[in-house]
Structure 1
Amino acid sequence: MYELYVSPSGDDAWPGTPGRPLATLARARDLARDLARGLVRAPASESASESAPDPARDPGPDPARDPGPDPARDPARGAPVVVHLLPGVHRLTETFELTEADSGVTYRGGDGGETVVSGGRRITGWHERDGIWLAEVGDLETRGLHVGGRRAGRAAIDGLPGNAVRTATGYVTDSAEPLGWGNPADVEFVLRGVYPWTEARLGVAAVEADGDSTVVTMARPAFGWAVELYNSVVPWEGGGESYGPGLPTRVENGRGFLTEPGTFVLDTSRPGRHVLRYRPRPGEEPGRTEAVASVLETLVRVAGARDVAFEGVTFADATWLRPNRPEGFLHYHGTGYYDGGPIEKVSFGEGAWVTVPADASTIPANVVFEDAVRATVEGCRFTRLGATALRFSGGADVLVRGNVFEGVCGGGLTVTGTRGAGIENNLVRDIGLEYSGSPGVAVSGGEECTIARNQVNDVPHCGIVVGPGRSTRVLRNLVFDTLKVLADGGGIYLSGPQGGSHEDGAVIRGNVVRDTLTPYNFALYTDYGAAWVTVEGNAVQRADNTAVLHVSPPLENVVLRGNIWDAAPVGWEDPPPGVTVEGDVIAADEADFASRAAGVVALAGLEAGYAHLRDGRAAS
């Protein structure tokens, strides 16, 4: 095994030894490629022949996960390489790209302190005016700012002032307040609850006076798309008819909104001379309190590599700029949003219908693995991120274990089309800060994926989402305080066909789901044609509804066995033909529930060796 060292205070002209470390991840990557192929000699003190492996740090292959040498792997590759990322902030100015040529390399941080891989830019040159900090930031575009290590929210107001109505081009109000918002093109409308599970973001194009009224013209194509997309009829109590977007529930990033400490506005009215404005919290001082704006949209991309690992690294300070564009963010469900194209009308009984995208785009991730094989992300922390934190697509035999996902604008972890993913003992909390439909963990389109012993809490919509797949296992997770913002979801939500029999179907076993908050929820929710699913030995408490058995399309070959509920699922007395209920228990009261569920509760959530994650420390 070869070892290289990288430090923020290093030098890329140095050899990469502990005393003379490299300065950048890119130089370490390039040198690791050459080392693995024997094109250069290892630094003398780090050669594999002069330093024995440390079994505490390199325990060797795990036969349960490592099938042995890959015959398709380049036979010219030599020993694996460990790149030690020494404590400090490793700032990236471009995406760190790894390909098949970088197979067999481990990037390891946390030796005596926190190792941060950051896509941020420190903001300097502040001056103060009327209690507001101002800094000219060139052509900077960002949606994220952290000051003194704490998130600064985008300055906002609740709703559109005055008596407002929607028009063919936007909105009109009898209030003159919008005329003082600042640069109209910087302002964004948030429309929460367009559908109960949906929150859209639309940009403003112009704000103008028209007699005693103020006309707000919205950016296109986003506004036109919203009129076409958001239409529904729900003809029962609590429903109604809705056509197009309603009034905004929140308006963000207007210069006139800077009233709350800890909020900021980015003013782009002068091209190339953007101005960042920030109202400080008590005790913060310009020039002494560090301010970091998120700049990169993708921190790391791993494409087609094998046996790549990241251990003990904090990934931070990335953004996602798509909602700033004229296309806006036409959210539909989860991480999906509309980006133009056909719209379909979906009926779901009793004259109810809703229009939806025929094809949805997906919120991207700030750390991306594509078609990776035997990749590992362990003991890492994902924070101060502007999209989904981590995404795997394709590939096989990946492990995501012992990580913390928190302070993320999108979802925590998404896995699509992967065979053999293990998602174990992770803590996911306080995510979806800007995109409220985002789930904590989402898996879809894969085979033999296991989501086990994770804790997911304080999320705006679903905790764990399972889409169509085969042989998915959701085991002994602790999920609570979900659906804090949007409705119609579950602490654990599963939809679509899950296999061809119960042998290769989905299993949801031994989970604890409690405190599913927003009304119109089903804590443990099998939905939309779910088939070949076993829901067994779970404990569900304190939800608007514990579960539902009648959905459209109907459930098929779904077995509920030995679950403990504090209230009967909807349709309990008359299960549909596709649902079998065997030995489930409805607790008489809270004490009865606690007694019956004690064994399930004791085994759900993080194992003892990962309790430190609750303190926000990913690496022990």
Structure 2
Amino acid sequence: MIYVDPSGDDSGPGTVERPFATLQRARDAARPGTVVTLRAGTHRLTDTFLLTAAHSGTVYQAHGYGTPYQEKVVISGGREVTGWTPSGDGTHRADAPGPAPRQLYADGLRVERAALSLDGHTLRRTAGGYTVEGTGPQRWDGDVEFVYRGAYPWSEGRCRVASVSGDAHATTLTMADPAFAQATRLYHSVLTWEGPGAGESYGVDSPTSVENSPAFLTEGTFATAGPVIHYRPRGGEPPAGVAAPVLETLLHARGAHDLTFRGITFADATWLRPSTPQGFLHYHGNGYYDGGALETVTFAEGQGQVTVPGDHASMPGNLIFEDTSRTTLEGCRFVRLGAVALEFRGAGAGNTVRDSEITDIAGGGLVIGDGARDHRVENNHIHHIGLDYRGSPAVLVTGARDTVIAHNEVADVPHAGIVVYEGRGTKVLNNLVHDTMRVLADGGGIYVSGPQGDSHANGALIRGNVVRDTITPYNFGLYTDYGAAYVTVEANAVHRADAPVVLTVWPPLEHVTFLGNVWDADPGDPPGGVVLKDNTTVAGDAFDSDPRAVAITRAAGRRPARHRH
């Protein structure tokens, strides 16, 4: 056994009496089968913690894991912010300990980025940005960023302001390229139905808010101007315990196998791409437009068309397991992370995340990506996801085979809770999914799109889940969308959504069966390709006491953790 303590010494033997100081030293000393025990405290990383095939078979765990004496262990990519200088208005300034941060934390709690709503501001789009009547925006200093919430109902983009100029009558805002030019092309739709939203529109015509100027500061917020952080603490108190994330990747395991992590908190990482002139042109899920070809998708029945990326990039993980197999993360926490918290990338097999918590995440919670096989996500609490990038789902499965998402609680998400893109054999079982779709629209508590197999035997199974309190308008508790095929939706309880399910989408559903579900509204008659059988509609206050709904609810969600040594 090897011991690591933040106050240890890498020149020592790594024993309990004389522990190492760094994870890197312990990694290099470990052999297959070694247990690396981390003592209490914050283990600050100066670089990404890299693990390769040579480091396979190692266990990293908190001292006393699984006992009442388990120590609190944090692996952090952040740095303390010191050297604060006060000003007369309650604002304090300090140099950033790394690149200008997109997130800031005080005593472990998130500090909101200073922002200003653009409701009531009349902006006229030009070829390179906007003009605004009046001189107010000429005071917008700092690393200012426009937010386009609802550029599409499911999207929220971000572009930097390159410069602000003007005269005594008007202000010119020049936006950073290539982001602004690309956003103008991407967020373009022509809707031909009759009613709200019809006609040709450009999402960049209507930015919803502007962030990150010291001019916007209120109590409990921060902004950056170049390398300087401006922070106005609540109550006028001097800043204390303030930290900024610096590393973009805390841990990257590549080609390793049989790794185990137990009882560790992974915290304080960032993602800086949205701060660049490329911006963050979100499209759907964790995907964003990074240039290249754009395509036009035409809806059925003359409803119009939207512009979509021909290809897209994906928000990266702050912890990446790439081509790794039989890795287990158990009893861990993933918190204060600035992109996707946890990403399984490449052709790994048999990885498991269980009995853990993922919370306070700027982007997505967990991704299982193309090539993955036989991964399990079970008995986790995944909540308060997408705090900055609000189209991000709590759990995303894409291009994977035989993934199991079971007995998790997923909550407090600005768009969809669990998202399953095209794949094979995915099972979403006995999860409690609530308070999703809190900000953006056109999504669901559980969202499935694309072909899921070539028969019901190897297709997707969505069974035993409770989906409730799906918040914003135009949502569906269980959303099968965009050509979903070979999907069985069985014995779920769905209530307090705009509608429990959707049956008619484009491209149409094929081989989708809704069997034995309980919901609080009749979904209507199914089109071809959809089968409804033995479902029950229980409206109003009777839903919570309906025997079938009660039975499904009792079997869903987290179970007491059982630590496995």
Q: SS of the counterpart of 2:291?
A: coil
The match for 2:75 among 117, 133, 146 is: 117
Instruction: Tell me which residue corresponds to 1:155.
Output: 114
Supply the distance in 1 between the matched residues of 2:474 and 2:97 (Cα, whole angstroms): 46
Deviations 1:169-213 (A, max 9, x none): 111111211111114xx1000010010000000000111114511
Root-mean-square deviation (CA, aligned residues, Å) is 1.6
Supply the distance in 2 between the matched residues of 1:588 and 1:202 (Cα, whole angstroms): 44
Q: Does 1:315 align with 2:266?
A: yes
- The answer as to whether partners of 1:4 and 1:28 remain within 8 angstroms in 2 is yes
Q: SS of the counterpart of 2:501?
A: coil
Instruction: Tell me which residue corresponds to 2:518.
Output: 564
Supply the distance in 1 between the matched residues of 2:281 and 2:119 (Cα, whole angstroms): 19
The match for 1:301 among 252, 255, 274 is: 252
Tell me the amino acid that sits aligned with residue 325 of structure 1: T
Supply the distance in 2 between the matched residues of 1:8 and 1:430 (Cα, whole angstroms): 30
Q: Does 1:330 align with 2:284?
A: no
Listed as ranges, the matches of 1:135-150 within 5 Å are: 135-137=94-96, 140-150=99-109
Instruction: Tell me which residue corresponds to 2:344.
Output: 392
* Bigger proportion of residues as strand: 2
- The answer as to whether partners of 1:380 and 1:619 remain within 8 angstroms in 2 is no
Larger radius of gyration: 1
Instruction: Tell me which residue corresponds to 1:59.
Output: none
Instruction: Tell me which residue corresponds to 2:216.
Output: 257
Supply the distance in 1 between the matched residues of 2:545 and 2:515 (Cα, whole angstroms): 19
| Residue 160 of structure 1, CA deviation | 7.1
Distance 1:339 1:508, change over 3 A: same
Distance 1:619 1:216, change over 3 A: farther
Deviations 1:475-533 (A, max 9, x none): 00000000001000010000111111111111000000000001011110111111111
Q: Does 1:600 align with 2:557?
A: no
Instruction: Tell me which residue corresponds to 2:138.
Output: 179
Instruction: Tell me which residue corresponds to 1:479.
Output: 433
| Residue 402 of structure 1, CA deviation | 0.8
Distance 1:449 1:413, change over 3 A: same
Deviations 1:270-293 (A, max 9, x none): xxxx2111101227433xx21101
Listed as ranges, the matches of 1:255-294 within 5 Å are: 255-258=214-217, 260-268=218-226, 274-282=227-235, 284-286=237-239, 289-294=240-245
The match for 1:83 among 36, 41, 47 is: 36
Percent of aligned pairs sharing the same letter? 53
The match for 2:196 among 238, 261, 270 is: 238
Q: Which runs of 5+ in 2 are unaligned?
A: 65-69
Supply the distance in 2 between the matched residues of 1:163 and 1:212 (Cα, whole angstroms): 14
Q: Does 1:538 align with 2:492?
A: yes
Supply the distance in 1 between the matched residues of 2:349 and 2:121 (Cα, whole angstroms): 55
- The answer as to whether partners of 2:341 and 2:365 remain within 8 angstroms in 1 is yes
Q: SS of the counterpart of 2:351?
A: strand
| Residue 110 of structure 1, CA deviation | 5.1
TM-score (norm 1): 0.87
Q: SS of the counterpart of 1:245?
A: helix
Distance 1:200 1:445, change over 3 A: same
Instruction: Tell me which residue corresponds to 1:128.
Output: 86
| Residue 609 of structure 1, CA deviation | 3.5
Instruction: Tell me which residue corresponds to 2:361.
Output: 408
Tell me the amino acid that sits aligned with residue 337 of structure 2: L
Q: Does 1:371 align with 2:323?
A: yes
Q: Which runs of 5+ in 1 are unaligned?
A: 37-78, 269-273, 611-617
Q: SS of the counterpart of 1:28?
A: helix
Instruction: Tell me which residue corresponds to 2:297.
Output: 346
Tell me the amino acid that sits aligned with residue 339 of structure 2: A
Q: SS of the counterpart of 2:361?
A: coil
The match for 1:437 among 391, 410, 432 is: 391
Instruction: Tell me which residue corresponds to 1:72.
Output: none
TM-score (norm 2): 0.95
Q: SS of the counterpart of 1:486?
A: coil
Supply the distance in 1 between the matched residues of 2:537 and 2:206 (Cα, whole angstroms): 42
Supply the distance in 2 between the matched residues of 1:123 and 1:406 (Cα, whole angstroms): 23
Tell me the amino acid that sits aligned with residue 321 of structure 1: L
Instruction: Tell me which residue corresponds to 1:11.
Output: 9
Q: SS of the counterpart of 2:124?
A: strand
Deviations 1:376-402 (A, max 9, x none): 111110111110100001300011101
Instruction: Tell me which residue corresponds to 1:528.
Output: 482
Supply the distance in 2 between the matched residues of 1:396 and 1:93 (Cα, whole angstroms): 30
The match for 1:419 among 357, 368, 373 is: 373
Instruction: Tell me which residue corresponds to 1:60.
Output: none
Distance 1:225 1:404, change over 3 A: same
- The answer as to whether partners of 2:467 and 2:493 remain within 8 angstroms in 1 is yes
- Paired residues in the alignment total 553
Distance 1:598 1:208, change over 3 A: same
